[in-house]
A = this chain, B = another copy of it.
Amino acid sequence: MTIKEIVTEVKAKYPEINNVYFVGCGASQSDLYTAKYFLVRNAKRLRTDLITANEFNFDPPSDLGEKSIVITCSLGGTTPETVAASKMAREKGAPVICLTNAPESPLAQNADYPIIHGFHESYSAKMQKLTKCLQLAAEILEQYEGYEDYEDMMKGVEKIYGVIDAAIPYAKPLAEKFARENKDERVIYVMGSGPSQQVAYTFSSFILMEMQWVDSASFSAGEFFHGPFELVEKGKPFMLLMNDGNTRPMDVRALEFLNRFDAKVTVVDAKDYGLGNEIPASVKDYFNPILLDGVLRVYGEAIAEARKHPLTQRRYMWKLNY
Protein backbone atom coordinates (compact mmCIF):
# COMPACT_ATOMS: atom_id res chain seq x y z
CA MET A 1 0.00 0.00 0.00
CA THR A 2 1.15 3.54 -0.67
CA ILE A 3 1.29 6.05 2.21
CA LYS A 4 -1.78 7.74 0.72
CA GLU A 5 -3.66 4.42 0.59
CA ILE A 6 -2.68 3.62 4.19
CA VAL A 7 -3.97 6.96 5.51
CA THR A 8 -7.13 6.69 3.39
CA GLU A 9 -7.89 3.32 4.95
CA VAL A 10 -7.06 4.52 8.47
CA LYS A 11 -9.38 7.50 7.99
CA ALA A 12 -12.20 5.23 6.78
CA LYS A 13 -11.81 3.03 9.87
CA TYR A 14 -10.92 5.78 12.38
CA PRO A 15 -12.62 9.00 11.28
CA GLU A 16 -12.18 10.75 14.65
CA ILE A 17 -8.43 10.85 15.28
CA ASN A 18 -7.29 13.40 17.91
CA ASN A 19 -3.63 12.38 18.41
CA VAL A 20 -0.61 11.37 16.37
CA TYR A 21 2.10 9.85 18.58
CA PHE A 22 5.58 9.20 17.20
CA VAL A 23 7.39 6.45 19.10
CA GLY A 24 10.89 5.04 18.71
CA CYS A 25 14.31 4.67 20.32
CA GLY A 26 17.68 6.25 19.59
CA ALA A 27 18.25 7.31 15.99
CA SER A 28 14.86 5.86 15.05
CA GLN A 29 13.26 8.13 17.64
CA SER A 30 15.24 11.13 16.45
CA ASP A 31 14.29 10.43 12.82
CA LEU A 32 10.61 11.01 13.71
CA TYR A 33 11.25 14.52 15.05
CA THR A 34 10.87 16.37 11.74
CA ALA A 35 7.37 14.95 11.26
CA LYS A 36 6.39 15.84 14.83
CA TYR A 37 7.83 19.36 14.37
CA PHE A 38 5.83 19.67 11.13
CA LEU A 39 2.55 18.72 12.86
CA VAL A 40 3.16 21.09 15.79
CA ARG A 41 3.66 23.93 13.28
CA ASN A 42 0.88 23.07 10.81
CA ALA A 43 -1.93 21.15 12.50
CA LYS A 44 -4.85 23.06 13.99
CA ARG A 45 -6.62 20.23 15.76
CA LEU A 46 -4.41 17.12 15.77
CA ARG A 47 -2.40 16.72 18.97
CA THR A 48 1.09 15.27 18.68
CA ASP A 49 4.22 14.32 20.56
CA LEU A 50 7.41 12.32 20.08
CA ILE A 51 8.07 9.87 22.91
CA THR A 52 10.95 7.44 23.47
CA ALA A 53 9.43 3.95 23.41
CA ASN A 54 9.84 2.87 27.03
CA GLU A 55 8.48 6.17 28.30
CA PHE A 56 5.47 5.57 26.07
CA ASN A 57 5.20 2.02 27.45
CA PHE A 58 5.49 2.92 31.12
CA ASP A 59 3.64 6.25 31.04
CA PRO A 60 1.36 6.39 28.00
CA PRO A 61 -0.95 9.35 27.34
CA SER A 62 -4.26 8.79 29.14
CA ASP A 63 -6.32 9.03 25.95
CA LEU A 64 -4.23 6.58 23.92
CA GLY A 65 -6.74 4.46 22.00
CA GLU A 66 -9.05 4.55 19.01
CA LYS A 67 -8.60 8.29 18.59
CA SER A 68 -4.80 7.99 18.31
CA ILE A 69 -2.60 7.11 15.36
CA VAL A 70 0.69 5.65 16.64
CA ILE A 71 3.71 5.81 14.32
CA THR A 72 6.60 3.57 15.38
CA CYS A 73 10.03 3.24 13.82
CA SER A 74 12.97 0.81 13.97
CA LEU A 75 15.50 0.25 11.19
CA GLY A 76 15.89 -3.48 11.79
CA GLY A 77 12.42 -3.79 13.29
CA THR A 78 13.63 -5.67 16.36
CA THR A 79 14.04 -2.88 18.98
CA PRO A 80 12.23 -4.53 21.93
CA GLU A 81 10.87 -1.32 23.47
CA THR A 82 9.42 -0.17 20.14
CA VAL A 83 7.89 -3.57 19.36
CA ALA A 84 6.32 -3.51 22.85
CA ALA A 85 4.99 0.01 22.20
CA SER A 86 3.36 -1.15 18.95
CA LYS A 87 1.71 -4.10 20.72
CA MET A 88 0.48 -1.95 23.60
CA ALA A 89 -0.92 0.73 21.29
CA ARG A 90 -2.82 -1.88 19.25
CA GLU A 91 -4.19 -3.49 22.43
CA LYS A 92 -5.56 -0.08 23.38
CA GLY A 93 -7.26 0.15 19.98
CA ALA A 94 -4.96 2.61 18.19
CA PRO A 95 -4.05 2.02 14.54
CA VAL A 96 -0.27 1.51 14.37
CA ILE A 97 1.80 2.48 11.34
CA CYS A 98 5.46 1.46 11.48
CA LEU A 99 8.52 2.49 9.48
CA THR A 100 11.17 -0.19 9.08
CA ASN A 101 13.73 -1.55 6.65
CA ALA A 102 12.74 -5.12 7.58
CA PRO A 103 9.39 -6.34 6.20
CA GLU A 104 9.49 -9.64 8.12
CA SER A 105 10.54 -8.07 11.42
CA PRO A 106 8.65 -8.22 14.74
CA LEU A 107 7.87 -4.50 14.36
CA ALA A 108 6.30 -5.01 10.93
CA GLN A 109 4.37 -8.01 12.24
CA ASN A 110 3.04 -5.98 15.17
CA ALA A 111 1.90 -2.99 13.13
CA ASP A 112 -1.36 -2.58 11.21
CA TYR A 113 0.42 -0.81 8.37
CA PRO A 114 4.15 -1.35 7.81
CA ILE A 115 5.92 1.20 5.62
CA ILE A 116 9.13 -0.37 4.31
CA HIS A 117 11.95 2.08 3.59
CA GLY A 118 15.30 1.57 1.91
CA PHE A 119 18.60 2.17 3.68
CA HIS A 120 21.70 0.40 2.40
CA GLU A 121 21.39 1.29 -1.31
CA SER A 122 22.68 4.87 -1.12
CA TYR A 123 23.03 7.96 1.06
CA SER A 124 19.61 9.16 -0.03
CA ALA A 125 18.12 5.72 0.72
CA LYS A 126 19.28 6.17 4.33
CA MET A 127 17.02 9.21 4.45
CA GLN A 128 13.87 7.38 3.27
CA LYS A 129 12.98 6.78 6.92
CA LEU A 130 12.83 10.51 7.73
CA THR A 131 11.27 11.40 4.38
CA LYS A 132 8.51 8.79 4.45
CA CYS A 133 7.69 9.78 8.03
CA LEU A 134 7.34 13.44 6.99
CA GLN A 135 5.25 12.40 3.97
CA LEU A 136 3.06 10.30 6.29
CA ALA A 137 2.53 13.24 8.66
CA ALA A 138 1.62 15.51 5.72
CA GLU A 139 -0.80 12.89 4.36
CA ILE A 140 -2.47 12.52 7.77
CA LEU A 141 -2.78 16.31 8.07
CA GLU A 142 -4.18 16.62 4.51
CA GLN A 143 -6.78 13.92 4.98
CA TYR A 144 -7.90 14.82 8.53
CA GLU A 145 -7.66 18.62 8.43
CA GLY A 146 -6.51 19.70 4.99
CA TYR A 147 -2.99 21.05 4.37
CA GLU A 148 -2.59 23.90 1.91
CA ASP A 149 1.01 23.11 1.00
CA TYR A 150 0.34 19.42 0.44
CA GLU A 151 1.28 19.48 -3.26
CA ASP A 152 4.53 21.33 -2.49
CA MET A 153 5.34 18.78 0.20
CA MET A 154 4.89 15.93 -2.27
CA LYS A 155 7.15 17.75 -4.75
CA GLY A 156 9.75 18.09 -1.98
CA VAL A 157 9.49 14.39 -1.20
CA GLU A 158 10.27 13.62 -4.86
CA LYS A 159 13.19 16.05 -5.04
CA ILE A 160 15.03 15.54 -1.75
CA TYR A 161 16.75 12.28 -2.66
CA GLY A 162 18.41 13.89 -5.66
CA VAL A 163 19.52 16.85 -3.54
CA ILE A 164 21.17 14.48 -1.04
CA ASP A 165 22.96 12.34 -3.61
CA ALA A 166 24.19 15.46 -5.42
CA ALA A 167 25.53 16.84 -2.12
CA ILE A 168 27.63 13.80 -1.16
CA PRO A 169 30.65 14.36 -3.46
CA TYR A 170 30.90 17.98 -2.27
CA ALA A 171 30.54 16.93 1.37
CA LYS A 172 33.32 14.32 1.28
CA PRO A 173 36.37 16.65 1.36
CA LEU A 174 34.68 18.78 4.03
CA ALA A 175 33.97 15.68 6.07
CA GLU A 176 37.60 14.58 5.76
CA LYS A 177 38.71 18.01 6.96
CA PHE A 178 36.36 17.70 9.96
CA ALA A 179 37.76 14.23 10.69
CA ARG A 180 41.40 15.36 10.45
CA GLU A 181 40.79 18.32 12.71
CA ASN A 182 38.69 16.48 15.30
CA LYS A 183 39.91 12.88 15.42
CA ASP A 184 41.85 13.44 18.65
CA GLU A 185 39.28 15.64 20.38
CA ARG A 186 37.89 14.33 23.67
CA VAL A 187 34.59 16.25 23.59
CA ILE A 188 32.67 17.50 20.54
CA TYR A 189 29.47 19.57 20.78
CA VAL A 190 26.79 19.55 18.09
CA MET A 191 24.12 22.21 17.59
CA GLY A 192 21.11 22.68 15.37
CA SER A 193 17.89 24.68 15.34
CA GLY A 194 14.25 24.18 14.46
CA PRO A 195 13.50 20.93 12.65
CA SER A 196 17.23 20.09 12.59
CA GLN A 197 17.77 20.06 16.35
CA GLN A 198 17.38 16.30 16.52
CA VAL A 199 19.86 15.82 13.67
CA ALA A 200 22.41 17.33 16.05
CA TYR A 201 21.17 14.88 18.71
CA THR A 202 21.60 11.97 16.27
CA PHE A 203 25.18 12.88 15.32
CA SER A 204 26.13 13.55 18.94
CA SER A 205 24.41 10.57 20.58
CA PHE A 206 24.78 7.88 17.96
CA ILE A 207 27.73 8.73 15.73
CA LEU A 208 29.97 10.23 18.43
CA MET A 209 28.88 8.67 21.74
CA GLU A 210 27.65 5.28 20.55
CA MET A 211 29.74 4.54 17.48
CA GLN A 212 32.97 6.41 18.33
CA TRP A 213 32.92 6.45 22.18
CA VAL A 214 33.64 10.17 22.04
CA ASP A 215 32.14 12.40 24.75
CA SER A 216 29.56 14.72 23.23
CA ALA A 217 26.40 16.69 23.80
CA SER A 218 23.87 18.38 21.55
CA PHE A 219 21.47 21.23 22.10
CA SER A 220 19.32 23.76 20.32
CA ALA A 221 21.20 26.72 18.84
CA GLY A 222 18.62 28.80 20.72
CA GLU A 223 19.43 27.24 24.08
CA PHE A 224 23.18 27.65 23.45
CA PHE A 225 23.08 31.27 24.60
CA HIS A 226 21.39 30.38 27.89
CA GLY A 227 24.05 28.09 29.28
CA PRO A 228 26.32 25.95 27.09
CA PHE A 229 27.96 28.96 25.42
CA GLU A 230 29.91 29.49 28.65
CA LEU A 231 32.02 26.47 27.60
CA VAL A 232 33.28 28.26 24.49
CA GLU A 233 36.99 29.04 24.42
CA LYS A 234 39.74 29.04 21.82
CA GLY A 235 39.90 25.68 20.03
CA LYS A 236 36.78 24.16 21.66
CA PRO A 237 35.19 21.82 19.09
CA PHE A 238 31.67 22.62 17.95
CA MET A 239 29.72 21.32 14.99
CA LEU A 240 27.01 23.72 13.86
CA LEU A 241 24.19 22.60 11.57
CA MET A 242 22.75 25.52 9.62
CA ASN A 243 19.27 25.49 8.11
CA ASP A 244 18.15 27.16 4.94
CA GLY A 245 14.89 28.21 6.57
CA ASN A 246 13.00 30.12 9.24
CA THR A 247 15.36 29.47 12.14
CA ARG A 248 18.55 30.35 10.22
CA PRO A 249 19.03 33.55 12.25
CA MET A 250 19.52 31.35 15.34
CA ASP A 251 22.25 29.40 13.52
CA VAL A 252 23.92 32.59 12.28
CA ARG A 253 23.95 34.06 15.79
CA ALA A 254 25.62 30.90 17.13
CA LEU A 255 28.20 30.94 14.31
CA GLU A 256 29.08 34.57 14.99
CA PHE A 257 29.63 33.81 18.68
CA LEU A 258 31.72 30.69 18.03
CA ASN A 259 33.94 32.53 15.53
CA ARG A 260 34.24 35.58 17.78
CA PHE A 261 35.87 33.44 20.49
CA ASP A 262 37.91 31.21 18.16
CA ALA A 263 36.13 27.95 18.83
CA LYS A 264 37.02 25.12 16.47
CA VAL A 265 33.87 25.28 14.36
CA THR A 266 32.66 22.82 11.75
CA VAL A 267 29.69 24.21 9.82
CA VAL A 268 27.36 21.92 7.88
CA ASP A 269 25.05 24.25 5.98
CA ALA A 270 21.99 23.19 3.97
CA LYS A 271 22.41 26.37 1.91
CA ASP A 272 25.73 25.04 0.58
CA TYR A 273 23.87 22.19 -1.10
CA GLY A 274 21.22 24.21 -2.89
CA LEU A 275 18.23 22.97 -0.95
CA GLY A 276 16.28 26.09 -1.86
CA ASN A 277 16.81 25.59 -5.60
CA GLU A 278 15.00 22.26 -5.59
CA ILE A 279 12.47 22.28 -2.75
CA PRO A 280 9.40 24.59 -2.80
CA ALA A 281 9.84 27.49 -0.36
CA SER A 282 6.59 26.73 1.48
CA VAL A 283 7.94 23.39 2.75
CA LYS A 284 11.72 23.90 2.52
CA ASP A 285 12.18 24.09 6.29
CA TYR A 286 11.16 20.48 6.80
CA PHE A 287 13.70 19.12 4.31
CA ASN A 288 16.69 20.71 6.05
CA PRO A 289 17.06 17.91 8.60
CA ILE A 290 16.74 15.29 5.86
CA LEU A 291 19.52 16.85 3.78
CA LEU A 292 21.74 17.55 6.81
CA ASP A 293 21.31 14.06 8.27
CA GLY A 294 22.17 12.55 4.87
CA VAL A 295 25.28 14.68 4.54
CA LEU A 296 26.33 13.90 8.13
CA ARG A 297 26.57 10.19 7.28
CA VAL A 298 29.68 11.16 5.30
CA TYR A 299 31.04 13.00 8.34
CA GLY A 300 30.42 9.93 10.47
CA GLU A 301 32.26 7.68 8.04
CA ALA A 302 35.15 10.13 7.78
CA ILE A 303 35.72 10.43 11.53
CA ALA A 304 35.41 6.66 11.98
CA GLU A 305 38.14 6.17 9.39
CA ALA A 306 40.37 8.89 10.83
CA ARG A 307 39.99 7.39 14.33
CA LYS A 308 40.40 3.81 13.07
CA HIS A 309 37.22 2.99 14.95
CA PRO A 310 34.58 1.35 12.73
CA LEU A 311 31.01 2.65 13.11
CA THR A 312 29.95 -0.92 13.82
CA GLN A 313 32.25 -1.39 16.83
CA ARG A 314 30.40 -1.76 20.14
CA ARG A 315 31.21 -2.49 23.77
CA TYR A 316 27.74 -3.72 24.76
CA MET A 317 25.16 -3.55 21.97
CA TRP A 318 24.72 -6.87 20.11
CA LYS A 319 27.09 -8.47 22.64
CA LEU A 320 25.07 -8.99 25.80
CA ASN A 321 21.60 -8.64 27.33
CA TYR A 322 20.74 -5.55 29.33
Contacts and interface: CB of A to CB of B under 8 A. Distances in A.
Contacts of A220: 52, 55
Interface stretch (A86-94, A99-107, A151-159, A207-215): A207-215
A25 B187 contact: no
A208 to B, nearest CB: 9
Contact of A41 (B29, B59, B231): B59
A58 to B, nearest CB: 5
Interface residues of A, number: 71
B58 A250 contact: yes
Interface stretch (A166-174, A266-274, A309-317): A309-317
Interface stretch (A7-15, A43-51, A295-303): A43-51
Most buried by B among A45, A54, A209, A245: A54
Interface string A224-268: 011111111100000000000111011001001100110000000
B223 A205 contact: yes
Most buried by B among A210, A222, A227: A227
A78 interface: no
Contacts of A27: 226-227
Given A40-B61, A215-B215, A232-B316, A55 B250 contact: yes
A182 interface: no
A26 interface: yes
B215 A231 contact: yes
A18 B44 contact: yes
Interface string A51-81: 0111100111111000000000000000101
B18 A45 contact: yes
A193 interface: yes
Given A58-B247, A250-B54, A285-B59, A230 B317 contact: yes
Contacts of A44: 18, 62-63
Contacts of A63: 43-44
Interface of A: 18, 25-27, 29, 40-49, 52-55, 58-63, 79, 81, 186-187, 193-194, 204-206, 209-211, 213, 215-220, 222-223, 225-233, 245-247, 249-250, 253, 256-257, 260-261, 285, 314-317, 322
